[in-house]
Structure 1
Amino acid sequence: MSKNQGSKPFELKISTVVAVSAILRTTELAAIDAALKQATGGAPDYFDHDLVVVDVSGCGQDIGALDWPALTSLFRSYQLNLVAVRGAPSELQPQIVAHGLSIDTLAQPRQEAREAEAVTIHEAASPAAPVAQPTPPAPAATVAPVVERVEVPTAMPAMIVDVPVRAGQRIYARGCDLIVNAIVNNGAELIADGSIHVYAPLRGRALAGASGNAGARIFTLSMEAELVSIAGVYRTFDGGLSKDLAKQPAQVRLEGDRIDILSIRA
């Protein structure tokens, strides 16, 4: 009898997978290649076979001309494995799937929720239509529509790390903030769906808002990061930081499509 007889041939378990979000605004492969070279500084090992979800919602009508096999090969040349596409029109999705890629629809509900929220706030703030025989409203009635539509965010839990994060180590705080009370070394990577707080030097990579939370931030007592990212928008520091920010307390936030680094002063 085989010693493996009676055991399950395989098991399925839910696993957390972290992927880089690549936001395309053009279908020109040469332009994408040039942008990747600039972002990586030409270093062949800048990425470590990371998974990539590409967002094509900013490509407009040009998306139909995108060469998916060539795009996949281009990313692979930078040690990036393209696995899914976000923001593609429904008529192109069968073609994308035929090239071995998945359709990521995770961002769509969040976008619809933001649009619904904007409409609700607009309606609450709009003046009411005139009434033929108006009666003086009670004070509570004037504020009730707005109060009913305000959604107070619940407190987000946090993952706390009390030991140094070594080179090559990756920590992912899924669905929460990440708090690190020790040094984050070069080559280490922090990822959180919420904000990232490092109460020590931050010398590796920090990716906050990994699930799309554009309001997430990164805080550190000593800004020395290799790369920072908020909701998939990233910034590297090949040219170094200015003297007022380098090795100083700082915060990172997303303003539109721009990553801002701000000093934290006592």
Structure 2
Amino acid sequence: MAGVGPMSAAAQDAPLAPKVRFWNRSFMALVVAPDFPMADWFAALDHELARAPAFFRGRPLVVDLSAAGAKDGAVAAIVLDGFEARDLRLVGVEGVDASLLAGTPWARLARGLPGRDLAAPPQEGPAPDVRPAPGTLLIDRPVRSGQSIVFEAGDVTVIGAVASGAEVIAGGSIHVYGPLRGRAIAGLRSGPEARIFCARLEAELVGIDRLFRVAEHWGAPLHGRPAQVLCDRGALRLSALD
């Protein structure tokens, strides 16, 4: 049997092939479904953008065109142009045939994005008794700016601060044992029963279920104080804990 000789100098000097790595990453995207009359719908959107700019800033947006003339490519393109004019970050489009957007700047948008709705529209009749699976995610360090903590299975507890530009999103309640300066959204699964607690309220935005408020709406008296956020008769209420 012939032996294996030493590697040639050329083989020894050949660069190693780069490694290609893949991993899954979940992200939260807003799905919007514009409807006619379109001028009124965009006026309502502008009101929300002015009321809570932090909620939309940098958030990936998927546009569902099912109800907005999806059989007409020109109408679809005009609607998408309306979102671009508002500097919103479009990443996907649904409810429209790809051929209708061919030749437009919107042909690049992703279609058929996998995922599921975290908050379905209300249905007629008695609601099913759906309860969140038990579980708590413990974060024993500060949440830095730019980080997004998403835990749909239950509560999130942060031992430390949530920095400005960070967000914590929970299926249940949120507990922050430090300053809350970023965004906190609770109740994705448990709904209005969830609460948000923090040792110092300095948040950009807080939300429970489908309700949210921004710092401009709760005023200086609560700023910097221990506080809780809860749903009370269909409205979001904030109160001091000290």
Secondary structure in structure 1 of the residue aligned to 2:77: helix
Partner of 1:263: 239
Amino acid at match of 2:76: W
TM-score (norm 2): 0.64
CA offset at residue 196 of structure 1? 1.6
Question: Aligned with 1:187: secondary structure?
Answer: coil
- The 1-side partners of 2:203 and 2:133 are apart by 27
Secondary structure of the corresponding residue to residue 191 of structure 2: coil
Shift in alpha-carbon separation, 1:251–1:106, aligned structure 2, 3 A: same
**Structure 1 gap ranges (5+):** 87-91, 121-150
Alignment of 1:1-266 (within 5 A): 3=15, 13-22=23-32, 27-28=38-39, 30-32=42-44, 34-39=46-51, 47-48=57-58, 50-54=59-63, 63-64=68-69, 67-84=75-92, 92-94=95-97, 98=101, 100=109, 102=111, 106-107=116-117, 111=120, 115=123, 118=126, 153=131, 155-210=133-188, 214-215=191-192, 216-231=194-209, 233-238=211-216, 240-241=218-219, 243=221, 247-253=225-231, 256=234, 258=235, 260-263=236-239, 265=241
How far is the alpha carbon of 1:51 from its aligned partner? 0.8
- 2:201·2:227 contact (CA, 8 Å) conserved in 1? yes
State percent identity of aligned pairs. 28
For residues 14-38 of structure 1, the C-alpha deviation after alignment (integer angstroms, 9 at most, x for no partner) is: 3212223547576326515632541
* Matching residue's letter, 1:176: G
Shift of 1:118: 1.6
The 2-side partners of 1:96 and 1:232 are apart by 34
Q: Give 1:250 shift.
A: 1.5
Q: Which has the higher helix share?
A: 1
Q: Cα distance, 1:192 vs. partner?
A: 2.4
Shift of 1:161: 1.4
Aligned to 1:124: none
Question: What's the CA shift for 1:227?
Answer: 0.9
Label 1:159 to 1:83 Cα distance change in 2 as closer, same or farther (>3 A). same
Query: Mind listing any 5+ residue stretches in structure 2 that lack a counterpart?
Result: 1-10, 102-106
RMSD: 4.2
Report the more deviating stretch, 70-79 or 159-168.
70-79
Q: What amino acid does structure 1 have at the position aligned with 2:214? A: T
Could you give the per-residue CA deviations for residues 37-64 of structure 1, whole angstroms, max 9, x where no partner exists?
41356x9xx723x21235679xxx6x33
Contact kept? 1:184, 1:202, Cα under 8 Å: yes
Give the match for residue 147 of structure 1: none
Would the alpha carbon gap of residues 188 and 154 (structure 1) be closer, same or farther in structure 2, given more than 3 Å must change?
A: closer
CA contact (8 A) 1:33 1:74 kept: no
What amino acid sits opposite 2:206 in the alignment?
Answer: V
